[in-house]
């Protein structure tokens, strides 16, 4: 009994001490909140006013897990993310009891099934497509669906390793992003598209100008199949970026060709490119130096610039044309950027792709310039729509981030990504095991391609790129549908070789 009594006394004393400390902390917080002048809520409602900030911060996570319906969230809803997860894990993506998609939303694409589709042994299969017929080393790309640009530095080492190994297994290309090519890109043996950003990382001299010597060194690696000049991206059209000195280690500095200990800035555009003439000159020069196909990536703001571009190409001849154009939607991508640019600048891919496809084909460049579509195209229906709208290839960044395990925590612009994808914190990177995740990348890519081929088979064609706008109907505001080629008519729609 004596020991029990003393134990109770000690516990009561400890409880009183803890309670006293808590009361003291609350009083201190009360005094801080009451005397501070920066936050009116905390000043008027000390202590409890702090819960507003906590609930605001947690709101996006509560909505994601408890309150939002499967098709409600932005930028990607639960149905989209779950599809990628199941595909990456090799699970079936069949569903029961009907579609949960609202088919009455204006603009929703509905594919037109053929009355008598090909038999199962005549399944639609993707055919390889040549890019860069005038380059010394054209690239015959085997896949319609590939990985968009994400730089080493913007994403982590294990993320790059998993993407590269997955791309090699699936037989798709991986865009390096503007941060240059790292050993982790090269180790897996996948096809690579080398992106040249405005800072020219990896192909620059000490003054930041493009170096022919560095271009030749990069192009000498057989895995580098093409070069993509980045004019702008969906996340921040018209704005460059900054890589803080704190994130530049010796390896990143060597890869990008920049000094240690200094912030590295990406200009908002290529300083030596003032017009389309300069752009075509740069493309021609890089293609001549490297021998590889060269194209560019941009966000579309309107038709006028592309009208000028294609007019100039006709004047100079087909050999002067870019080998491909990557159209990025203005919906915002993986890059961290100011909200006004993500929300308000640049056309969505649903309009931009149709616009550029029309202008390319009307100018007789359908077989010369390949179109690559990018921008929130993560599921088979998105990819099939883009192919029918005029794209020759589709690339995705965020779809493959979901395959790596991204949970849409919306922390890509910080160093606190909980899944290890966009962080350089070694503790957080441990959660991303490349040996495990690369198979998810490959399975996701193959699932998208297989289901796009399934859609193509259903509409009655033998290859996905034979889908045309007439194979898609768009929901109108009154709930009825019309063929996409009537909603977005073109003068040469009847010609079978264009879309």
Using alpha carbons only, what angle is made at residue 42 by residues 38 and 45, rounded to the nearest 5 degrees?
145
Q: Are residues 14 and 139 in the same domain?
A: no
Kindly state the helix (H) or strand (E) to which residue 283 belongs, with its residue range: helix 276-290
> Which one of 67, 87, 107 terminates a domain?
67
Q: Are residues 189 and 54 in the same domain?
A: no
Q: 74 in a domain, yes or no?
A: no
Q: 41 in a domain, yes or no?
A: yes
Q: Are residues 286 and 400 in the same domain?
A: yes
Q: 112 in a domain, yes or no?
A: no
Q: 130 in a domain, yes or no?
A: yes
| Whether residue 75 has a cis bond before it, omega within 30° of 0 | yes
DSSP class of 471: G
Kindly state the helix (H) or strand (E) to which residue 157 belongs, with its residue range: helix 157-170
Q: Give, in order, the Cα–Cα distances in Å from 353 to each of 48, 382, 387, 393, 425.
A: 50, 12, 10, 12, 38
Q: Answer positive or negative: Cα dihedral of 394, 395, 396, 400.
A: positive
The answer to whether residues 199 and 266 touch, using CB atoms and an 8 Å cutoff, is yes
Q: Are residues 160 and 40 in the same domain?
A: no
Q: Are residues 388 and 477 in the same domain?
A: yes
pLDDT of residue 58: 59
Residues of the chain with pLDDT under 50: 71, 97, 493-496
Q: 434 in a domain, yes or no?
A: yes
State how far the Cα of 22 lies from the Cα of 202, in Å rounded to an integer: 55
Q: 113 in a domain, yes or no?
A: no
Q: Are residues 43 and 165 in the same domain?
A: no
The answer to whether residues 162 and 437 touch, using CB atoms and an 8 Å cutoff, is yes
Q: Are residues 33 and 140 in the same domain?
A: no
Tell me phi and psi for residue 192, to 5 degrees: -125, 140
The CATH number of residue 160's host domain is 3.20.20.70
Calculated CA dihedral for residues 23, 29, 34, 36, nearest 10 degrees: 160
DSSP labels for 213-282? HHHHHHHTSTTEEEEEEES--TTSTT--EEE-GGG--HHHHHHHT--TTS-EEE-SS-TT--SHHHHHHH
Q: Are residues 63 and 130 in the same domain?
A: no
The answer to whether residues 493 and 472 touch, using CB atoms and an 8 Å cutoff, is no
pLDDT of residue 157: 87
Q: What's the structural domain count of the chain? A: 2
Q: Are residues 301 and 415 in the same domain?
A: yes
Residues spanned by the domain of 9: 2-67
Beta bridge partners of 327: 298, 373
Q: 497 in a domain, yes or no?
A: no
pLDDT of residue 62: 58
Q: Are residues 137 and 13 in the same domain?
A: no
State how far the Cα of 3 lies from the Cα of 111, in Å rounded to an integer: 79
State how far the Cα of 152 lies from the Cα of 92, in Å rounded to an integer: 32
pTM of the predicted structure, to 2 decimals: 0.82
Kindly state the helix (H) or strand (E) to which residue 313 belongs, with its residue range: helix 304-316
pLDDT of residue 13: 75
The answer to whether residues 416 and 495 touch, using CB atoms and an 8 Å cutoff, is no
Q: Are residues 358 and 467 in the same domain?
A: yes
Q: Give, in order, the Cα–Cα distances in Å from 249 to each of 263, 365, 423.
A: 11, 44, 14
User: pLDDT (tens digit, 9 = 90+) per residue, 422-455?
Assistant: 777 788 877 777 888 899 899 999 999 999 999 9
Q: 92 in a domain, yes or no?
A: no
Q: Which residues lie closer than 8 Å to 130 by C-beta, 6 or more apart?
A: 138, 139, 140, 141
Q: Give, in order, the Cα–Cα distances in Å from 257 to each of 190, 204, 252, 450.
A: 23, 7, 8, 40
State how far the Cα of 190 lies from the Cα of 167, in Å rounded to an integer: 6
Q: Are residues 338 and 423 in the same domain?
A: yes
Q: Give, in order, the Cα–Cα distances in Å from 377 to each of 81, 145, 230.
A: 12, 10, 19
pLDDT of residue 473: 94
Say how many C-beta atoms besides its own lie within 10 A of residue 199's C-beta. 24
The two tokens of residue 372 are 């690559």
Task: Look over the chain and give the mean of its residue pLDDT values, rounded to a whole number.
Answer: 83
State how far the Cα of 324 lies from the Cα of 294, in Å rounded to an integer: 7
Look at residue 88 and give its three-state secondary structure. Answer: helix
State how far the Cα of 387 lies from the Cα of 159, in Å rounded to an integer: 28
């Amino acid at each position: 009994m004596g020991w029990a009594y003393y134990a109770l006394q000690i516990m009561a004393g400890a409880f009183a001490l803890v309670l006293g400390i808590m009361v003291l902390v609350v009083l201190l917080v009360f005094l801080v909140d009451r005397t501070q002048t920066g936050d009116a809520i905390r000043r008027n409602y000390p202590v409890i006013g702090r819960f507003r900030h906590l609930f605001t911060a947690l709101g996006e996570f509560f909505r994601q897990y408890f309150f939002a319906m499967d098709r409600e969230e932005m930028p990607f809803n639960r149905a989209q993310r779950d599809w990628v997860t199941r595909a990456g894990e090799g699970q079936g993506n069949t569903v029961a009891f009907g579609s949960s998609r609202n088919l009455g939303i204006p603009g929703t694409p509905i594919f037109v099934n053929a009355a008598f589709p090909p038999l199962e042994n005549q399944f639609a299969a993707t055919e390889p497509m040549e890019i860069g017929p005038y380059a010394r080393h054209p690239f015959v790309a085997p896949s319609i669906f590939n990985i968009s640009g994400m730089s080493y530095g913007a994403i982590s080492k294990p993320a790059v390793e998993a993407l590269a190994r997955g791309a090699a297994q699936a037989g798709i290309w991986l865009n390096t992003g503007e941060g240059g090519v790292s050993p982790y890109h090269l180790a897996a043996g996948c096809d690579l598209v080398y992106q040249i950003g405005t800072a020219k990382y990896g192909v620059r001299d000490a003054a930041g100008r493009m170096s022919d010597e560095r271009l030749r060194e990069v192009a000498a690696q057989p895995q580098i199949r093409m070069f993509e000049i980045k004019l702008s991206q969906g996340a921040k059209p018209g704005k460059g970026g900054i890589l803080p000195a704190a994130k530049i280690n010796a390896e990143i500095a060597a890869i990008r060709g920049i000094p240690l200990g200094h912030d590295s800035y990406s200009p908002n555009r290529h300083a030596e490119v003032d017009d389309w003439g300069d752009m075509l000159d740069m493309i021609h020069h890089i293609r001549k130096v490297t021998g590889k196909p060269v194209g560019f990536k941009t966000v579309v703001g309107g038709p006028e610039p592309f009208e000028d571009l294609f007019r100039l190409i006709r004047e100079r001849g087909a050999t002067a044309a870019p080998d491909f154009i990557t159209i990025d939607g203005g919906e915002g991508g993986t890059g961290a950027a100011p909200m006004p640019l993500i929300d308000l600048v640049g056309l969505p891919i649903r309009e931009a792709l149709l616009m550029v496809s029309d202008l390319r084909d009307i100018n007789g460049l359908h077989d010369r310039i390949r179109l690559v579509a990018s921008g929130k195209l993560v599921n088979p229906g998105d990819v099939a729509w883009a192919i029918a709208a005029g794209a020759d290839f589709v690339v995705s960044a965020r779809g493959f981030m979901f395959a790596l395990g991204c949970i849409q925590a919306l922390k890509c612009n910080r160093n606190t990504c909980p899944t290890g994808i966009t962080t350089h914190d070694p503790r957080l990177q441990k959660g991303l095991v490349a040996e495990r995740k690369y198979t998810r990348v490959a399975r996701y890519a193959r699932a998208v391609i297989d289901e796009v081929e399934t859609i193509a088979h259903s509409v009655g064609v033998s290859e996905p790129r034979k889908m045309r706008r007439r194979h898609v109907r768009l929901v109108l505001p009154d709930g009825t549908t019309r063929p996409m080629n009537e909603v977005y008519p073109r003068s040469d729609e009847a010609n079978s070789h264009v879309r």
